[in-house]
Amino acid sequence: MIDTVTNSSEFRHVVHEQTSLDSRITNWQADLSRLIRRSKIYQQLGSNLPLDEIKAVVREHERDLGVDRLIDNLVTSEFVVSPKVVALTEELHDKLKGFEFVECIVLQGSAVNGGGVIRNVMSGADSHDLDWGIIYKGEHGPSDDELKKLMTKANRVIPRLAKKYGLAPDFRSCHGEKAVNPAEGCYMPKIKDLEHAKYMWRHFNGGSANVKDLMMYFQPSFPPNSNIENRKLLLEALSLFSEDTLFFNRVIERFLNDWSGFHIIKDKHLEGADTDSRLSALKNKVVKDSGFVMRAAMEVLLRETSSGAIFSRPTTYLA
């Protein structure tokens, strides 16, 4: 009887926690939807249209852009990428095939975490740079000279591709202080086998590994199969640690905390949301909860490994 009561209490606690999380996600999605709609309405108030017509125009615009689907994808998918950026990166990979050490290109930053597509919905603006890295082949990372030649070619090609695919006229590779590109250390080795994947988790758990490095394997790559295979090995390796509850939970929490930081929606993604004090307050709510809410899909992916539900979903790129 005691065990029954205890288990029942634990079950109620789990249900309560899940209900609270679901409510927090639903509220955040509703806040983001209201923020997008009200921002668009405020932008139209200077026209001569009656308010009812303005609201109708805004709702039609939302349907055309698929705003409801986008908001849902932000919490049900690990990443949400603009088709324009996908097309550019696929062709960039083709242009860099002469560099034999490159296994694949990995997308990072606003182009992946939803910030870019939110900015496009809010203001019609595209990102102005490409955050990217590479997974390399072989035992040793590329030399400084190899990276310099790679970046010289990429810096020449990316603006031309941006023009081809209708991105911002000044679109280029990420540059400047703390730039996210291969020349600034954004490169990691291909995961060779299960033992290598286990080593990566141990290294990460010890605190010496940079979480941003490990996250590279969980971002979309070109070609897609490269990181699908890397992620599959990492998830299988993680499942082998699931019986060590302390290790397993510590690794997942550390990873998810940094994943949340990676998914924080920033002010620059919400241009046009400061035209009214009420909009500004709503924007602050969206920004505050964005990282936590948008980690939900990744948390499901990682925690399912403990039940043996190892899988690697196909890489899907969403507008």
Cβ-based neighbours of 286, under 8 Å, separated by 6 or more: 28, 31, 32, 35, 265, 270
Spatial separation of the C-alpha atoms in residues 234 and 112, rounded to whole Å: 20
Residue 318 lies in a domain: no
Say which DSSP state 1 is in.
-
Range of the domain at 292: 2-307
Question: Which pLDDT tens digits describe the chain residue by residue (319 residues)?
Answer: 333 334 444 434 344 455 666 889 999 999 999 999 988 888 888 778 888 998 998 899 889 888 999 999 999 888 888 888 989 999 999 999 999 999 999 998 888 888 888 888 887 777 778 999 999 998 888 999 999 999 999 999 999 999 999 988 888 898 876 778 898 888 999 999 999 999 999 888 765 557 778 889 999 999 999 999 999 999 999 999 988 999 999 899 989 998 998 888 888 888 877 667 778 888 999 999 999 999 988 888 888 876 544 444 444 433 3
Query: Residue 67, SS3?
Result: helix
Residue 190 lies in a domain: yes
Say which DSSP state 244 is in.
S
Are the C-beta atoms of 111 and 85 separated by less than 8 Å?
Answer: yes
Query: Residue 182, SS3?
Result: helix
Distances (CA, A) of 142 to 137, 180, 183: 9, 16, 10
Q: What is the DSSP string of 277-300?
A: HHHHHHHHHHHHHHHHHTTHHHHH
Length of the chain: 319
pLDDT at site 307: 59
Spatial separation of the C-alpha atoms in residues 303 and 113, rounded to whole Å: 20
pLDDT at site 100: 94
Cβ-based neighbours of 128, under 8 Å, separated by 6 or more: 168, 170, 171, 172
Residue 139 lies in a domain: yes
pLDDT at site 222: 92
Residue 315 lies in a domain: no
Residue 316 lies in a domain: no
Residue 314 lies in a domain: no
Any idea what the Cα angle at residue 87 is, between residues 117 and 72, rounded to 5°? 30
- pTM value > 0.75: yes
Residue 128 lies in a domain: yes
Strands 102-108 and 221-222, sheet pairing: antiparallel
Are the C-beta atoms of 291 and 261 separated by less than 8 Å?
Answer: yes
What's the total number of domains in the chain?
Answer: 1
Say which DSSP state 133 is in.
E
pLDDT at site 20: 65
